[in-house]
Chain A
């Protein structure tokens, strides 16, 4: 299959175009890293959503709930392990950070399983009811979050080792953003490897292209889908935890705030395409940071504009999935 490189080229083109506008190279590097970090976090949250859509034609408007749950669970674990978080040792910090992230993923993934069983399963193949029911699920989940964690926002301090910035001359790069970029790359690599190099990945890709044929060959695509849904929810939890730590506050509204960006990203990428989602997320993150620096008042509008431009160019998104 011939690779389509043009969308991928958009990222360096966008970054290069922003350089003269921003002016100073030092702030350009800072903004670029911030944009990449934001893009990576959005990618982590959006990848599961786009896969479930591609595989089973299910778009989960309640995806934001998993993001919020991840953020809350991670915050709770980190607050419980407070002394380790504040200790001046990288290992103790990690000993608090990793369990928090894992707990967030586990709880979100488990919740995803329950959500699939209770909310989504009865409405396969009916888009209107899907949108309604998953939105209803989001309403209920947001209220439950308030019941469990209270209506107030939780303030969260980053672990000592992740505070501050690395300095290269007059270029400052926040450590946490570097970590976000690394985590995003790991998730992307893991997803790409799973999808392209394993048997399950082969089945998932085949299911995205032509689900009926995969079923006819004797594979239970439903079961596969449940797995993908759970993994997607767990990734949303991971993204939510990272996002909460990035913002240093966690509120019940976090899901609603991020889900808009997530939707823009998967529309830009082409519904169902993980690669498109990755490129789209980086584009959105970079645009948001450049425009936020150049003209802060229109930052969110810029994402809509980006989406409109890309849809004018490719109405199905950057990497349209074949059957749609």
Chain B
């Protein structure tokens, strides 16, 4: 059962299993273990960023391509839901429409970027995604009629997700909303885990290790790379939709900015590239650090994380998970 659920990709280390279990239980019981608006907000952010980092790991860790446009897809998903809820009213039908619209835009953009740049070299892809993402960021803050500009959009969530909704004693709409975010995130992570442990995932890793050889064996590397980038884009868009459904406001700073891109990079590399569990641990660490460590270490905590990032790339390319698995 567990084996099937984790797609035969067990933690393979006692400590890693313990850490993952603590994270799972902590998130599953967050509304009751850590009451309070702030900690619930942090828990929801952790869920969203786990999905975002995991989908980025599909690109960086498994396929070996660097994209700087991952937050762009995240933002597209968030704006899809936000625009639908603003324009069409706070119903589930507009949520569905927003999610589908965001997904469609994200996938089409990913295909276009992939076809343009993935047949060349990874370095091209990195630069072109950076350029496109910055254009979209500027576009989002310029087209204020649609996106609300720099201020973003504030909108009402569907009735069942509002704080004022109280179906039972002690259960509010926020808690329902949290469980929506949590369960969808969990499902997405398991789906990604399934994907990287499938034959498709093996082809991706073959491409990462040696693209020429993979091509020579008969796999069209362009097709596989483009597929991987589409799947990653779609998952990131879903993560964005979750964030939009959680926070009832969407603006460029929280969904599109390069600060978030840097955060995702840090999460995946420090947690461990090439394992989904690494993305999970990295996301938990970074979101916790952002919300609680800042007070302890001071303003320059990003400096130390940057140093840790460089050291990780040099000395621990498999990150925390790799270290845990080695013992």
Contact = CB atoms under 8 A, between A and B. Distances in A.
Interface of A: 59, 61, 119, 122-123, 127-129, 131-133, 135-137, 139-140, 143-144, 146-147, 151, 256, 259-260, 263-264, 266-267, 271, 297-298, 300-301, 303-304, 307-308, 311, 315-316
Interface of B: 60, 64, 66, 116, 120-124, 126-128, 130-132, 134-135, 138-139, 142-143, 258, 262, 265-266, 269, 299-300, 302-303, 305-307, 309-310, 313-314, 317
24 contacts: A128-B60, A128-B66, A129-B317, A131-B122, A131-B123, A132-B66, A137-B306, A139-B262, A139-B303, A139-B309, A143-B302, A143-B306, A144-B303, A259-B130, A263-B130, A264-B131, A266-B127, A271-B123, A300-B134, A301-B138, A303-B135, A304-B132, A304-B135, A308-B116
Nearest to A324: B121
A147 B126 CA distance: 29
B265 A300 contact: no
Taking chain B's interface residues, is the majority helix, strand, or loop, or is none over half, making it mixed?
helix
Taking chain A's interface residues, is the majority helix, strand, or loop, or is none over half, making it mixed?
helix
A72 B258 CA distance: 22
A273 to B, nearest CB: 15
A129 B313 contact: yes
Contacts of B132: 304
Contacts, number: 96
Contacts of B262: 135, 139
Contacts of B64: 128
Nearest to A307: B131
A18 B256 CA distance: 33
Contacts of B303: 139-140, 143-144, 147
B306 to A, nearest CB: 4
Nearest to A119: B310
B126 A304 contact: no
Contact of A127 (B122, B313, B314): B122
Contacts of A137: 306, 310
Contact of B269 (A132, A143, A256, A308): A132
B258 A256 contact: yes
Contacts of A59: 123, 126-127
A136 B269 CA distance: 10
Contact of B302 (A123, A139, A311): A139
A259 B126 CA distance: 13
